[in-house]
Amino acid sequence: MYESIAVVGATGAVGTIILDLLEKRNFPFKSIKFLASKRSAGSQIKFRGNDYTVEELVPSAFDGVGLAIASTPDEVARDFIPDAVKRGTLVIDESGYWRMDPEVPLVIPEVNPDAIKLAKKGIIASPNCSTTQMVVALKPLHDYGQIKRVVVSTYQAVSGAGLVGTRDLENGTKAALNNEDYKYECFQYPIAFNCIPQIGSFKEAGYTSEELKLLYETRKILGDNSISVCPTAVRVPVANCHSESILVETERKITVETAKELFAKMPGLIVIDEPKEKKYPLPHICTGRDEVFVGRIREDISSDNGLAFWCVSDNLRKGAATNAVQIAELVRSNG
């Protein structure tokens, strides 16, 4: 048991879910503190029946803290985590800043749990939300048939852009229905009744930063730099849960029947695949769940060793908060 733990970014959308998970999963500790920006410092949080005052995120706040779960923007993680580590704190980081550092393990507990032993810098990174759900689904296929290539299109909910993204969808939709103007706070274009084929900034070869995460993080987590990934990331007018259309090409052919068996045995993965009954994963039924869901499983009619499927997961839970808490549980179970 850690004597003291901290939740960084405790007042945000992901931080709120982390608190709920720590309480429901009865994560053990002797003391806990909640850290956030100067703007949120001084506010109150109720946790396990007690009231706590949110403290400002400053280096001294980590004195005596053994473990921290952090959900902050990249630039905040860049600045505060080294100070926390210097004070002896092991940090589980949700940001994207440390993910590709070769001395920082990038962990999905169901996929690469042993990677936590490689935390040389006192940091364990949690992957991007869209990467996490995809790799949970890819893992059993890769172990069985050796993945050569992945073509993935993501249909990402506005909750992935934070509370301001959700506000844009809600207010923008109301304005559109009432034929009124609305000044979007988060998105460059209207998200109501629209799709935006850009998430993040454009980088190499015309791919966005969000798309390149699907390439580089997948390779790092699965430990295989030979895997080719062609990603397209799209923001869609859905409140919560990311959906993905995934096409996998493997060295060894995987039939639909075999894929279903592999998926069913994978921890944290649920198959909903009854096309005749029109049953398949939907954001509407997957929101609030901690698992990854797959369906529409079918062989690729354009290649011999291709398999196509649909994948949905709650991006705020398994894509962020749940994975981080699972890492904390994994760290604790490994001493």
pLDDT at 41 over 80: yes
Q: What is the 3-state secondary structure (H, E, C) of the chain?
A: CEEEEEEECCCCHHHHHHHHHHHHCCCCEEEEEEEECCCCCCCEEEECCEEEECEECCHHHHCCCCEEEECCCHHHHHHHHHHHHHCCCEEEECCCCCCCCCCCCECCCCCCHHHHHHCCCCEEECCCHHHHHHHHHHHHHHHHHCEEEEEEEEEECHHHHCHHHHHHHHHHHHHHHCCCCCCCCCCCCCCCCCCECCCCCECHHHCEHHHHHHHHHHHHHHCCCCCEEEEEEEECCCCCCEEEEEEEEECCCCCHHHHHHHHHHCCCEEECCEHHHCECCCHHHHCCCCCEEEEEEEECCCCCCEEEEEEEECCCHHHHHHHHHHHHHHHHHCC
Among 41-50, 83-92, 182-191, 194-203, the least confident range = 41-50
Active-site position among 129, 241, 286, 311 = 129
Active-site position among 142, 195, 241, 242 = 242
Given pLDDT bands bounded at 50, 70 and 90, which one contains residue 334?
confident
Q: Give the mean pLDDT of 174-202.
A: 97
Tell me: the pLDDT tens digits for 225-258? 999 999 999 999 999 999 999 999 999 999 999 9
Given pLDDT bands bounded at 50, 70 and 90, which one contains residue 8?
very high
Please, what is the average pLDDT of the chain? 96
pLDDT at 212 over 90: yes
Q: Give the mean pLDDT of 12-30.
A: 94
Given pLDDT bands bounded at 50, 70 and 90, which one contains residue 268?
very high
Q: Is 142 a catalytic residue?
A: no
Q: Is 186 a catalytic residue?
A: no
pLDDT at 46 over 80: yes
Q: Show the domains of the chain with their CATH numbers.
A: 2-127+320-333 (3.40.50.720), 130-314 (3.30.360.10)
Q: What is the pLDDT of residue 1?
A: 58
